[in-house]
Amino acid sequence: MIVTLQKSIYNIKAIRNTVYWFSKNFEILISEQSDVFELSCAEFSEKNKKEFIQSLNDFSLREQINIETKDIKNLVISKAFYPDLIKFKDIGEFDDPVNIFKRNGN
Amino acid sequence: MTPLISLKEMGINNIRKEFRKFQKLQFYDDLDSNSFSLLPFNFKRLNSGRQLIISMVGDYLIVPNGTVENLLKKNIENIDKSLYYDLLSNHVVSDSHDIKSLELLANRYRAKKTNAFNFAQLHIFVITLRCEHTCQYCQVSRVSQNKEKFDFSHLNLYKGINLMLASPENNITMEFQGGEALLAFDLIKDAISYTKEKARLVNKKINYVICTNLAPINDEILEYCKLEKILVSCSLDGHEELHNENRKRPGRNSYSLVEKGLNLSFDIVGRENVSALMTTTTLSLEHPIKIIDEYRKFGFNSVFLRPISPYGFATKNKNSNYQTNEFIKFYNKGLDYILELNRKGEYFKETYTAILLKKILTAFSENYVDLMSPSGLINSVIVYDYDGKIFLSDEARMLAQMKDFTFQIGTVNDSWEKLLNNPIIEKIGDAGVNDYMAGCSTCAYNIYCGADPVLHHATQGDMYGFRPESSFCQRNMSVLDIIFEKIDSEPDALDIFKSWVNNE
């Protein structure tokens, strides 16, 4: 069975993550055309394909979250392990979680 | 309407006052909520159709189906107001564009990974390999004679203790293991006497634990344990028939010796200083309830439903080879029974679940080697074998019994500088961090889980491991699935779980 996925919709990382978990039971080959990825797997049934697509959709969401948040994650982890290397604020400076400064025009 | 005044005009004292005072409710309702951004999180789908969202610091929320999609599309109007505030307070989204708001997240992450900043606090001394039991699943080879060959030499023992005391931690647990550690009781006494004298000089606090099958225990040993405040950790696999079948010895009387030894230990060192540990064999799989009842019979208020480690002799025995899904069925049945006991008013907990719950329900982590990332090797435990070899974990020592010395970092004759320069330490640095490993980096549970390079090396010949076929991965994902499904579907499960974390 061949599953065709639009490149504009599906990220290759999400596809690879899905293939990784399915590779326990299936041999899946990924090939690349100009605007699609083609996944071929001889053993796939319709049920397998449905499960694969469901899993792929979730990995696509995870990849979107990753793209949007990876810089923050790296910053937080760097700060956690090297607290003195990255300074988010000077000593004595106020945090402003409910925007008091902003409401006072600062 | 709050007047607009500049920061400079406000002055430091006025700013302080402004920050201290409670504002009107409307003030908090009017947050800058229309422009939120995502913080790092992951999700899973639950059987109920709801989504489980887990933040990068381990806070979780069970939310309606479609919430993750709405967050990604920034469809704030489709997200319930109270849910939005939950998402804010659980660090899933942020409505602040100020980098400083990440300070808290960094501190929370640091607290969660606090073990990474430590050195080993648990130092295990395999005082002897001799044992009078011949348990089929025993992970180490056992020998019954030749004291000279299979006991720690005094010279090596003292060198090991010197190394332990030269390590950076000030609060150290020194654990004596075997074989059967109490067959070398005189050696343990010498070790403790030497350690006490030396520890005083370097101002370190040492806690002592003896792991024993209780067969050799007697009044004299227990009086010594009481005097030196030594904790007694014993093996109890379950009811008499099961225990005797699992733990064979001449006379087939292992259980009656444990029963006698436990009661004597309770009398002399006190119930609070005695613990028991079980190992699950194929024979145990049918009896989770009987095993739990056995622990209750002896007055314990917890049991650790612990699978067998796939090392050493365990891999060669039919009673030790079972599939992870069989273990999960056993665990699930046991956990259901334990929850029922709690519903009837009896405080009783399952230890592995409680370790995970501490990670799920609090800002902290338990110091449990298998579930650490970065790996707990070096950060948590060091093992000194009877012949002076030093290993990164007890499991690494078991591998060495199968002639695999991958995780041996040296001997008691080496300095810490040499031991820590062993190339394996660097490899573990890579293979012991699950945030960046295939299969783990995209797993919603990775903040609760570990990497366990030793197990993957032992079972798959690769420290990184292939997660879809990893027994470690299957077990932890299944246990966490069970925990969250219970929180989602059983109304009182969360309160019971909280009581386990709070020990009340």
- Residues on chain B touching A75 (C-beta within 8 angstroms): 99, 102
CA distance A52 to A38: 14
**Mean pLDDT computed over B394-416:** 92
Share of chain B above pLDDT 70, in %: 92
Q: Which residues contact B394 (CB under 8 A, 6 or more apart)?
A: B124, B177, B381, B383
Please report the pLDDT score of residue B308 as a whole number: 85
Sign of the Cα torsion B403, B407, B412, B415 reads positive
**Mean pLDDT computed over B396-405:** 88
**Mean pLDDT computed over B157-171:** 96
Inter-chain residue contact B439 with A20, CB threshold 8 Å: yes
* Partners of B461 in beta bridges: none
Please report the pLDDT score of residue B503 as a whole number: 82
Share of chain B above pLDDT 90, in %: 70
Of A76, A85, A88, which to mutate for an interface test with B (greatest number of B Cβ within 10 Å)?
A76
Helix (H, G, I), strand (E, B) or coil at B71: helix
Helix (H, G, I), strand (E, B) or coil at B409: strand
- Residues on chain B touching A61 (C-beta within 8 angstroms): 43, 68-69, 72
CA distance A57 to A13: 12
- Residues on chain A touching B105 (C-beta within 8 angstroms): 76
Please report the pLDDT score of residue B45 as a whole number: 97
Across chain B, what does the average pLDDT equal? 90
Dihedral-angle region of residue B41 (phi above 0 means left; psi in -120 to 50 means alpha; beta otherwise): beta
For residue A67, count other CB atoms closer than 10 A to its CB: 12
List pLDDT tens digits, range B200-234: 999 999 999 999 999 999 999 999 999 999 999 99
Inter-chain residue contact B110 with A80, CB threshold 8 Å: yes
- Residues on chain B touching A99 (C-beta within 8 angstroms): 31-32, 96
Please report the pLDDT score of residue B143 as a whole number: 62
Please report the pLDDT score of residue B1 as a whole number: 42
CA distance B54 to B32: 23
**Mean pLDDT computed over B162-174:** 96
List pLDDT tens digits, range B132-150: 777 776 655 556 666 677 8
For residue B3, count other CB atoms closer than 10 A to its CB: 7
DSSP for residue B78? G
CA distance B98 to A106: 13
Q: Which of B37, B109, B467 sits opposite A76 (nearest CB)?
A: B109
List pLDDT tens digits, range B307-342: 887 765 556 666 666 888 999 999 999 999 999 999
The answer, for A70 touching chain B at a CB cutoff of 8 Å, is yes
List pLDDT tens digits, range A78-102: 999 888 877 776 656 666 666 676 6
Q: Which of A73, A75, A104 sits opposite B10 (nearest CB)?
A: A104
**Mean pLDDT computed over A28-34:** 95
Task: Please name the CATH architecture into which domain B119-422 falls.
Answer: Alpha-Beta Barrel (3.20)
Outline where DSSP puts E strands in A7-82.
29-32, 36-40
- Give all domains of chain A, ordered by start, each with its CATH number: 2-79 (3.30.70)
DSSP run (H or E) holding B47: none
Is residue B86 predicted with pLDDT exceeding 90?
yes
List pLDDT tens digits, range B21-65: 777 777 766 555 567 899 999 999 999 999 999 999 999 999 999
B276 token code pair: 């028991």
Of A11, A16, A65, A102, which to mutate for an interface test with B (greatest number of B Cβ within 10 Å)?
A65
Task: Characterize the bridge pairing of strands A36-40 and B274-277.
Answer: unpaired
Please report the pLDDT score of residue B473 as a whole number: 95
Of the candidates B60, B65, B61, the one whose C-alpha atom is nearest the C-alpha of residue B49 is B65
Of the candidates B54, B78, B49, B76, the one whose C-alpha atom is nearest the C-alpha of residue B64 is B49
B444 token code pair: 């919603």
User: What residue of A is the nearest CA neighbor of B109?
Assistant: A80
Query: What are the distances in angstroms from CA B164 to CA B160, B184, B423?
Result: 6, 20, 21
Inter-chain residue contact B468 with A23, CB threshold 8 Å: yes
| Residue range(s) of every CATH 3.20.20.70 domain in chain B | 119-422
Helix (H, G, I), strand (E, B) or coil at B307: strand
The answer, for A26 touching chain B at a CB cutoff of 8 Å, is no
Sheet of A29-32: strand order equals A2-6, A36-40, A29-32
**Mean pLDDT computed over B392-399:** 89
DSSP for residue B377? B
List pLDDT tens digits, range A44-60: 999 999 999 999 999 99
- Residues on chain A touching B23 (C-beta within 8 angstroms): 98
Inter-chain residue contact B98 with A96, CB threshold 8 Å: yes
CA distance A36 to chain B (A): 24
CA distance A1 to chain B (A): 22
Q: What's at B248, amino acid-wise?
A: K
Outline where DSSP puts E strands in B56-105.
60-63, 93-94
Cis peptide bond upstream of B374, omega within 30: yes
Q: What's at B377, amino acid-wise?
A: L
